[in-house]
Structure 1
């Protein structure tokens, strides 16, 4: 990487009239949390109607399971506003949950013994609602339900609009602005893949799992250590959620989706969505009158591709994500490699958001050459090594064909981020970005400060199981939200959204005129060539 280019781009931004907008990129969060009972079991109750419709609510929905809440904030320029909105959603949810239900504070799930204990999410009788259910049924047949019950936190980010002309001049790029924007976002994505192991080290918070989870995924791997009854860990793990017992599977491990540009990304993803896969053909698609999966292709739909970061464009109703990208380019990026922090009621704090924003800008402003298949394999090996052994002082990663100690590489990145954080803070009343960076630099210096190390230390000190730890933290967070329920205008706002979403679901169901078979055929008739 050419450090000189990075500094030149920073200096050009600093000289521009829009330098103060550098920290005004839009930030959003999507937080998943498993609903559990107060005795630690996965909830079997339906998604509460008092929360609104999971199909149409803009901020409160479900992910894979009927019990897996997904809470979504709107994009905000101010990180504090993003966090405040997420806090408001949590308070409203906890006001509406049954008194014996709370949200699980950890990413790795507990509270079940068998896959069938995990209820698949349902979205009503509309065609789109049925499609979402069948897709999840397909995931169950392909990967099992336990993997889908893992929770995470997604960070959505888009660059301030006023900076695009400055960057285009700095890059000396004369193409249409939309093409430049998409290519620049893909540059960010490639570097985020190269350096993404750092996020697992700093924020990984899933070093231990319940025995039942491993049992649902197969046998307990021999390298795992029994930490306490029904609890297994890897001693130096940071994020087992991002390891080969988490969001990993053999089919996708051999799948190559190019991130070198928008055209290659869409083409390779469409190929996976449109190519039959014999093991999935053996499952069957529609058996009798029941659908087992949407199709028998490598991926049923684009969302089945489990990447740590995605380019995103808002899809119109009935429009495939790849078609939306090809028609209108990349609008923002979605970082998907973040565990829930069980020490924070919201699963994330303000300092982490500030660091993530600075880190994404660092990835965007660095040189980002195309990724080869070989480098992509190296990236995956670095991520897996960090997920499983990130706090091992002896761990080395691969960089440009050489080996380098994780700590040495992390120190180098954090040092290079210092002038960027100084520029971000230049027009602000506080040094929020430099403070956030310093907090992470302390974790690089001392791995015992990382969430993963704190969790294992607490489990050992209390001689408690992971399930007991998770339930204790979840109970504390639930009390935090219920002790200060939502009031006033914000409460009225969420009550209105809940009622409105239910009405919208009923409208969608009433307006369906096509049978489900024809609906699927029409949806999948969209191809990569459809750009008009």
Structure 2
């Protein structure tokens, strides 16, 4: 089961380090009113300047808020950061406002114009306006969760030490392991969409034409036909092909900028991709998760545990041959689109899903992971066996008159009430809209949590 690298990690008793990533979370949520319409209220003034606050900002729409956590030592700390900053945002909202708990936006205005676009920096504003020449405002409205993963230095050092003839530097080890993880997540993105997809329908005024699904689906947001962003997929064979493929796409005008070609997994390092060829990959950003409406912060700890397990599995398993990457990932993208547009009570790739879950179960047993990992594998296996247990399967039961407004408003109001009852909401953004990670650590946790 293990690759040579995986066996070295196992033999050196470093398995636990492969699933204990440094982590950061970014969660987008639209602001809505209690009638289920996109909010028209301004950016909350209690949380500082929307163009400079690094922890709470807006994204494409003025009503789309994004909470960003500092890089945390582990997943639990990242979730605590997310919960506390999310609560700070909620307590700053105007009366009657809430954070919409679904990835697909609330009811949008019938006439969608540029007044909906975020008030942001001139550079970002120019990009949005250029982007709108190729896309509709609706395409930029869906929200989701991004998970940033950074491999522990101990693993980098171990691999470098054990394979001196294979890697010339520690950065070369990083590039290889991050690219292996990226390939793995894209290859099995269809399973993540199946297990966590939660955008079965769109509300009134989202579609401007009759080109729309005829029935509820697994994930509108993750589909190529109706999802967000560019319909471009980079070449993940290695770092150079990744950068070159995006530069070429900009050159031939498939992409406006390389930022538009972020894809389901984004390699992160220097913002200048050509420089990143030299400085290398520093972490990866997973961008394929819909908001989980069953959590007030948009993602559950069990989901993070499953993603960490998958990342560890990819690091320790044989990687794709370079000659097979493009073809394999192209097929994986087709599979993902099929899953995204299947009915929520279907599992098109049931046999494939059961096989991978079984393989992950073997992996968990082989590395003697704790019961929490065995439980999450069991839960995901049940979702494969019973599609009605998936988020979209459950949401389908909440649809009334082709809408989820009644359900989403009730849920959003409940989460909002809970935040308003918080004993110690963070108020530091009022006086300092650019607090450092250390400021947040002290304000939110009283210095009791490690970053």
TM-score, normalised on structure 1?
0.75
Matches of 1:496 and 1:169 in 2, distance apart? 48
2-side partners of 1:256 and 1:33: how far apart?
25
Structure-2 change in CA distance of 1:321 and 1:36 (3 Å): farther
Counterparts of 1:167 and 1:434 in 2: how far apart (Å)? 27
Residues in 2 aligned to 1:383 and 1:195: alpha-carbon distance in whole angstroms: 8
Paired residues of 2:383 and 2:390 also in contact (CA < 8 A) = yes
- Secondary structure at the residue paired with 2:113? helix
2-structure distance, mates of 1:256, 1:196: 13
2:125 pairs, out of 129, 133, 145, with 133
Partner residue, 1:257: 234
Match of 1:353 among 267, 281, 304: 304
1:368 aligned partner: 320
Distance, in Å, in 1 between the alignment partners of 2:122 and 2:5 is: 48
Instruction: Identify the residue that residue 408 of structure 1 maps to in structure 2.
Output: 351
Q: In structure 2, what is the Cα distance between the partners aligned to 1:496 and 1:23?
A: 38
Kindly indicate whether the alpha-carbon contact (under 8 Å) linking 1:27 and 1:77 is maintained by their aligned counterparts in 2: yes
* Conserved 8 A contact 1:64-1:121: yes
Cα distance change of structure 1 residues 458 and 392 upon mapping to structure 2, 3 Å threshold: closer
Distance in 2 (alpha carbons) for counterparts of 1:24 and 1:497: 32
Match of 1:285 in 2: none
1:170 CA drift (Å): 6.0
Deviation at 1:393, TM superposition (A): 4.7
Distance of aligned partners of 1:175 and 1:442 in 2 relative to their CA distance in 1, 3 Å threshold: same
Matching residue of 2:440 = none
- Contact 1:91 / 1:485 at 8 angstroms: preserved in 2? no
**Aligned match of 2:57 in 50, 61, 78?**
61
Alpha-carbon deviation of 1:305? 1.4
Q: Distance in 1 between matches of 2:402 and 2:152?
A: 46
- Cα displacement (A) at 1:46: 2.6
- Cα offset for 1:185? 1.1
Match of 1:72 in 2: 68
How is 1:491-510 mapped onto 2 (pairs within 5 angstroms)?
Answer: 491=426, 493-498=428-433
Structure 1 position 114 matched with structure 2 position 111 = yes
Deviation per CA, 1:106-154, whole angstroms, max 9, x where unpaired? 000122123228611122xxxxx20111111122221011110110111
Q: Quick one: structure 1 residues 204 and 189, their matched pair in 2 at CA, closer, same or farther if it must change by over 3 Å?
A: same
Report which of the two has the higher share of helix: 1
* Residue deviations 1:155-194 (CA, integer Å, cap 9, x gap): 1111111011333466662321212211221121112111
Unaligned runs of 5+ in 2: 437-451
1:464-485 deviation per Cα after TM superposition (whole angstroms, max 9, x unaligned): 7222222222112111211225
Matched, 1:474 2:412: yes
Deviation at 1:459, TM superposition (A): 2.0
Match of 1:180 among 154, 173, 195: 173
**Structure-2 residue corresponding to 1:511:** none
Q: Which runs of 5+ in 1 are unaligned?
A: 124-128, 226-232, 278-297, 396-405, 502-532
Residue 77 (structure 1) shift: 2.9
Match of 2:371 in 1: 431
Q: 1:167 aligns with which of 159, 166, 176?
A: 159
Please say if 1:96 is aligned against 2:92: yes
Q: Is the 8 A contact 1:151 1:340 kept in 2?
A: yes
Q: What is the aligned counterpart of 2:25 among 29, 39, 47? A: 29
Structure 2 residue 324 is matched with structure 1 residue 386: no
Residue-pair matches, total: 432
Change in Cα spacing, 1:493 to 1:420, as seen in structure 2 (3 Å) is: farther
* Aligned equivalents of 1:368, 1:390: Cα separation in 2: 31
- Asked whether 1:45 is paired with 2:41, we answer yes
CA distance 1:52–1:246, shift in 2 (3 Å):
farther
From 77, 81, 87, the equivalent of 1:81 is: 77
Residues 202, 444 of structure 1: 8 Å contact kept: yes
Aligned-residue offset at 1:324: 4.4
Structure 1 residue 306, shift from structure 2 partner: 4.7
CA contact (8 A) 1:54 1:60 kept: yes
RMSD between aligned residues: 2.5
> Match of 2:207, SS?
helix
**Larger Rg computed on CA atoms:** 1
Q: Specify which of 182, 195, 203 is matched with residue 196 of structure 2.
A: 203
Counterpart in the other structure of 1:243? 223
Counterpart of 2:447 in structure 1 is none
How far off its partner does 1:96 sit?
1.1
User: How far apart in 2 are the matches of 1:453 and 1:49?
Assistant: 38
TM-aligned CA deviation for residue 391 of structure 1: 4.9
In the alignment, which residue of structure 2 is the partner of 1:212?
Answer: 205
Say whether the 8 Å CA contact 2:264–2:287 is kept in structure 1.
yes
Q: Does structure 1 residue 268 correspond to structure 2 residue 245?
A: yes
Describe the SS at the equivalent of 1:213: coil
Q: How does 1:444-523 map to 2 (within 5 A)?
A: 444-459=384-399, 465-487=403-425, 491=426, 493-498=428-433
TM-score by length of 2: 0.88
1:377 aligns to 2:330 (yes or no): yes
